[in-house]
Every structure is written in structure tokens, then in C-alpha cells.
Amino acid sequence: MTLDTYKKNYHKNKFQYLLTNHLAVILESDDTLFVLEQKTALDDVHPFFESLLSLFKTKGETYHFSCVNLIVKGKDVIVDISIHNQDGNKNLVVIEDLTNHYNNYQLTAQTRNDSVINSQILELKNKYLLEKEDFKNTFITNFSHQLRNPITSIATFCNIISDTNLSAEQKNYLHIISSANTDLKNRIDDVLDIAKINSGQLILTKDVFSLATFLDEIVYEYKSLAANKNLDFSAEIDTKLPEFIEGDKFRLKQIIDNLMSNAITFTTKGSVGFHISLNYIRANKISLHIEVTDTGIGINPSDYDLVFERFAKIESPIQNDENIGLGLAIVKHLISEMGGNISIESQKNIGTKITCNLSLSTIPRTYKEPKKTASPKTFNFARKQNVLLIDASELTQLSVLKTLALEGNFYLEIVSNIAALSEILLKQEFDIILLSNKLGNHSAEELIKKVLKTSRDYKDVPKLILTPEISSTEIKRLIRVPNTDYIKTPFDKNILLETIYEYLKK
Amino acid sequence: MIASKKIVLLGHFGVGKTSLIRRFVQDIFSKDYKVTIGVHISKKEVLISENKKVSLLLWDLEGHEDIKRTRPSYLLGTHGFIYVFDLSRPETYKALKTEIEHLKTHYKNVPIKVVGNKMDLVTKEHIKQNADVFDDFVDFFTSAKLGSRVELLFSKLAKELL
Ligand SMILES: Nc1nc2c(ncn2[C@@H]2O[C@H](COP(=O)(O)OP(=O)(O)O)[C@@H](O)[C@H]2O)c(=O)[nH]1
Ligand SMILES: [Mg+2]
């Protein structure tokens, strides 16, 4: 066979040629693909042609349609169709059978589309889950904040009652209420921390503090807690540790508190130990090594991972399990934020050793050590000091009043709105001002401005902001101004007094 | 003779164009997805009023993310468009506005019905949340699966074409 005949043979079974008039009525057909009788109207053959009748009436045009799915006389094909207008109101219709070709394409398209759709659906599910998680975190945060107020009230009034005449029995009950309340507060703080971690809002602060003092306080605190339970306590503090470091003191304390209080809680006899040493100082990084040991109930190796899981709680024989799993989950996160690691070694009923490494910073070169001040409590004033409290909360008013009254060193004036503030500032002079971080619509910054506007003399008068959070940038900026500081609410009455005395002495 | 009208269904792949036609023409639904390639044409007569019929020639096109990629010959002599998107997949209505505007400028006198399909998969809340996208454009919320408002969609459009 010649190439030409091959070609003809090939073409023959793939192409159907039709001649029609301008009404798409068949004049001639070679019937390669379908047998179509003369005089049949193409619009009766398939709705494809019915849709295009107008194209058969045009002149000198060619139309091409690719990938048309046709069922003609029970035969299922995928074809390309072209309509060529011819002279004398005739049309040549060419149908090319490309079923195999397009079926292959169909398979590719199927895989591609399936995967695109699946990934969009996945993305959507993911988005939905994230929104749910977000909602959960916001809910927890808001709700926990709402719980804080009543807890603060309980704490404040426990404090106030404790200074009244109480029988031994009443004192005992009060102590139970107060420690249950502290426990509740700690748990809520933990829940808040978890919500912050989940939403990526737990950010470490950087402040210079005395590591030596910090560690002294820890040793003092846990020595007495251990003694209360008749446990031996040993502390090892590396002498190579720098005196001052920079980092998040509050969070470092939280880590150590969690580890130490767990050790004490889960140990009924024997000892607990605290060890801290320097790994290295490199560039401005200080790497610390901390070990907390106990001779308590221990943890099964299979539960090691569980301890750090968010809401896990290990089966414990001790009823009073104050530190349910949350604390350690937070610790783990904090340590990893400090570029460190934590590990457990433990033997059931023999004891546990928790080891962690974490990094803080050396103090910046520009930092000047504050001068050491004598204990403020010993200070005696020549006259009673005038204190102004700007705060609308009756609770705060009452607790400041109680605290200062017992000292006998102060006159207290209280204003709870902005109008009263202007009035009192004109009438009287004050030695120290305590102000809320929010009075009506007014921020602490606005309140301070208002005070300074009355008289520039107030520039030198100490101003202490009572605020539940110092994370706000505004407060942080304010307390950099000399003679301005903050007291975290709910405040401990001793801290309030110490801070006031310290500033009045200057 | 019954007038016949060419209606073209457009929209991303997988939004339910084929399913809407099958529900309308054969009153069936399948949850399996078989990608349409090229074009399928089906026909259905609808009764417009007591003694008036129109025969709809429904062009079910292969879906594209971008309307401009549709083969132009497919759109020759179109009497009406149905633009379908999937209420449960934002990707498919992200560019709704541009797509519709493109159609409106290039096919000035051709009526367009915009359809949010798979109504059965979403909540009323979802539709409210997207009101800014949907309110101005969408004519029908349908479900090919349940058959909701499918008849209505085609008969409304058919009436407009006469
Ligand atoms: N739940 C639900 N699924 C639908 C609906 N319409 C179509 N589907 C499904 O969506 C997928 C794609 O439908 P199809 O009609 O092929 O979309 P097309 O690519 O636009 O022709 C198939 O799995 C259908 O079963 C609907 O109204 N509800
Ligand atoms: Mg389809």
C-alpha cells in the first residue's frame, strides 16, 4: 500500500463528511461514524445542531467546535465538529472522532480537579477549625477575666478581716478561705496562660533584675514550705552566676514555682532540692541550668510525655493535687520560648529529677545599677503624709483606706471622678498620688496630664498607677518617667506600703 | 413550531452545573463527580404558560477558574447564561463580580442568572456573612441534591427569553 492509501484508510474511519443545505438538511453523508439518511434535518439528530441552526445560513464562514460530547443513534462519542459555509447555500460539516484522545484528557482533568477541590475543602476545614480554636481562646480569656473580679474581692476582704479581732478558730477558717481562693486564682491564671499560648499572645518581657536577690527569695520561700511538710531542703547556687541579668523575671519565677511546688506537693517524706548553675555566657546570652529533685511518688516513664500535655493529669495517690497538668504544660512552653529544653528522670516511689536549660540575656551596657535602699519600713515621717487616690472602684478605695489607716502615717483623700479631681487639686497639696489606670473614659496618661496641668509641682510628686496588666505599651511608657511606677492589682497590702514608703523617702 | 433557546452554564469546575442540568432534565442526582470535558448538550421543553412551550438547549461546559478561558465558539448564539458557583467553596465565588461584569459587557443583551448552588451544605448564617458578595449578584440559591429551586431557575430564565 502507498502512503496515500494508508492515509485514506486512517482518515476513513475517523472522519465523517456531510453536505447540508442552509437549513441543515442532509444532502449527502459518507456515514463513516453514523448512518444518517438523506433529507434528515441535523437539528433532529442532536440538540448541538439545533442550537446552531443560524450558522448554516451565514456565508463564507467556518466554525470550529472542539470536544463535543455526542450521543447519536446510541453511539457515544467525543468529536470535533467544523461547519464550512460553501457556495450555493451549502454547508460542509466535518465530524472528527477523537473519543480516545479526549478520554485520556478526561482522566487527567479528573485527577487535577479532584485534587484542587479536595485541597480547597481541606483549607476550608482548617480555617473553620482555626476559627473555632480562636473562639475557644477568646471565650476562655474573657470568661477568666470576669472570674478575676470576684476572686479579687474575696482576697481583699480576707485581708481586711484578718486585721480585725478574730478568734483562733475564725482565723483558721479565714486561712482556709484565703488559700482556696489563691488556689482558684492560680488555676485561672494558668488557664489564661494556656489561652495566651494557644493564640500566640504570650510574649516574654525583657527587664533587668537582680538574679541574686531573686534566688535568695526563692530559697527562702521553699525552705519554709519544705519545713512545713517536714521535708529536708537543699539549695545549690553556682557562684559563677552573674548578679544582674535581663529577662522575664515573672515567667522565670513561674517556671521555678511550678517545678518546686510540684516537688513539694508530691513528696511526703525525704527531701527536695534546688540547683542552679551557669552553662555559659556567650555574646549577650546567658544559659542557665536548673535542676529540681525530690524523693516523692515519682512518675512512670510512659507518662513523661503526658506530664507536659495541656490538660493531662497523672493518676496520683495524693488527694490534694493542687498542681494539675496545666502548670507543666505552661512551663514547657515558657522554657522553649527561652530557647531551652526540659527533661524528666523519675522512678516510681523513689523520686523525680527535672532538668532544664534556658537562656536569658546579659544586662545591656547602658544599664546602671539602682542604688540600694534601706528597708523602707523603718522610716519615720516628721508629719503625716497626704495621699490622693484617684480610683472609681469602691473595692480599691476600701482596701487602700484600710491598709493606710492601720499605718497611722497617712491622710487619704479619694476622688472617683474627673470633676472632683480638678477641685481637690486646687484645694490641697499631696505627697503621693495613687491612680487607677482607667477612670471613666480617662486613661492613666490623661489623668497624669490633668494633674500636671493643675500645677507643675506635681512633676516631682510620686505617681503610682494601680493596674491589673503592665503589658500595655502606654503603661510601660508612663512608668519610664521619673517618679512614676505601677502597682499590680489586686495588690498585696505589703507591696502597696513598701512601694509608697520607698517613693516618699526619695 | 416550538421556539428553541440556547442556554449556557458557566462557572468553576465542580460547582454543580452538570448536576443542576441532570436534576432539571432527568430529575436525578449523583454524589459522584465526573469531570465534564468540552461540552454536553441536552434538551428539555418547558411549559411557559397554558399553551406556550419553549425548548431549552442546555450547554453544559467544562468548568474553568477563569471565564475568559472558555472556548469562544461555545458561546456563539447564546440566548441566556446561567453562572453557577459553589456556596461551600469561597474559591468559586472569589471573583464573582469580575466574572459577571465580564459577561455583562461582552454579551450586553443576554440575560444572566447567577446561582449559588449546594445550598444544602451551608447554613443561613454563612449566607448572611457573605451578604456583601451575594446580595447584589445572586439570583438563586439552589441545591441540585435536594432539587431546591432548580425548576424555578430554569423556568424563570425561559420566561425571560420569550
Ligand atoms: N451537596 C451537594 N452536592 C452537589 C450539589 N450539586 C452538585 N454536587 C456535587 O458536586 C460535585 C460536582 O458536581 P458537578 O455537577 O459535576 O459540577 P460541575 O463541574 O459544575 O458540572 C459532584 O460530586 C456533585 O455530586 C448540591 O446541590 N449539593
Ligand atoms: Mg460538569
State yes or no: pLDDT of A440 exceeds 90.
no
With cut-offs at 50, 70 and 90, classify the pLDDT of residue A387.
very high
Considering the domain A104-198 in this protein, what is its CATH number? 1.10.287.130
State mean pLDDT over A95-103: 95
CA A55 to chain centre: 65
Does the domain at B3-161 match CATH 3.40.50.300? Answer given as yes
In chain B (162 residues long), the average pLDDT of successive 10-residue segments reads: 93 97 96 95 92 94 86 94 96 93 93 96 88 90 96 95 89
CA of B31 to the centre of ligand 1 (A): 7
CA of B19 to the centre of ligand 1 (A): 5
pLDDT value at position A88?
A: 87
State yes or no: pLDDT of A504 exceeds 70.
yes
Nearest-atom number in ligand 1 for the CA of B21 is: 15
State yes or no: pLDDT of A438 exceeds 90.
no
Cell numbers placing A347? 522512678
pLDDT value at position A488?
A: 84
Who has greater pLDDT, A330 or A490? A330
Classify domain A13-97 at the CATH class level: alpha beta
Which of the residue ranges A11-20, A469-478, B23-32 would you say has the lowest mean pLDDT?
A: A469-478
State yes or no: pLDDT of A317 exceeds 60.
no
For the segment A107-122, what is each residue's pLDDT rounded down to a tens digit?
Answer: 999 999 999 999 998 8
* Domain ranges across chain A: 13-97, 104-198, 207-361, 376-504
Q: Which residues of B fall within a CB distance of 8 Å from A69?
A: 37-41
DSSP letter at A377?
G
Pick the residue from chain A with its C-alpha nearest to B7: A51
With beta carbons less than 8 A apart as the criterion, state whether A162 and A174 touch.
Answer: yes
Query: Hey, what CATH topology would domain A207-361 get?
Result: Heat Shock Protein 90 (3.30.565)
Residues 190-229 of A with CB under 8 A from B: none
DSSP letter at A364?
P
- Looking at residue A287, its amino acid is S
Among the partner-chain residues A50, A110, A121, the one whose CB lies closest to the CB of B35 is A110
What residues flank ligand 1, with Cβ below 6 Å? B 13-19, 30-33, 36, 63, 117-118, 120-121, 143-145
Nearest to A257 by CA among A311, A336, A334, A338: A334
With cut-offs at 50, 70 and 90, classify the pLDDT of residue A370.
low
- The DSSP element (H or E) to which B85 belongs, if any, is strand B80-86
Residue with cell 535602699: A373
State mean pLDDT over A259-273: 93
Nearest to A45 by CA among A54, A36, A55, A56: A36
* Domain ranges across chain B: 3-161
User: What angle, rounded to 10 degrees, do the helices at A394-407 and A493-505 form?
Assistant: 60
Q: Indicate which residue's Cα is closest to atom 2 of ligand 1.
A: B118
With beta carbons less than 8 A apart as the criterion, state whether B46 and B154 touch.
Answer: yes
Compute the nearest-CA separation of B14 from chain A (Å): 7
pLDDT value at position A325?
A: 60
What is the phi-psi region of residue A24: left when phi exceeds 0, alpha when psi lies from -120 to 50, beta otherwise?
A: left
Compute the nearest-CA separation of B34 from chain A (Å): 7
β pairing state of A410-415 and A351-361: unpaired
* Contact (CB<8Å) B88/A124: yes
Task: Please report the beta strands in A170-230, taking only residues with DSSP state E, as ranges in sequence order.
Answer: 207-210
Cis before residue A490, ω within 30 degrees of 0? Answer: yes
State yes or no: pLDDT of A389 exceeds 60.
yes
- Can you name the residues that pair with A280 across neighbouring β-strands? A287
State yes or no: pLDDT of A312 exceeds 60.
no
State yes or no: pLDDT of A6 exceeds 60.
yes
Query: Is A121 part of the contact surface with chain B (CB cutoff 8 Å)?
Result: yes
pLDDT value at position A372?
A: 53
Pick the residue from chain A with its C-alpha nearest to B74: A65
Burial class of A402 by CB neighbour count within 10 A (0 to 12, 13 to 18, 19+): middle
| Architecture of the A376-504 domain | 3-Layer(aba) Sandwich (3.40)
Q: HEC states along B21-38?
A: HHHHHHCCCCCCCCCCCC
State yes or no: pLDDT of A135 exceeds 90.
no
- The DSSP element (H or E) to which A358 belongs, if any, is strand A351-361
In angstroms, rounded to a whole number, what is the distance separating the alpha carbons of residues A361 and B22? 69
What is the spatial order of strands in the sheet that A410-415 belongs to?
A410-415, A385-390, A432-436, A463-467, A484-488
Residue with cell 539549695: A235
Residue with cell 535542676: A291
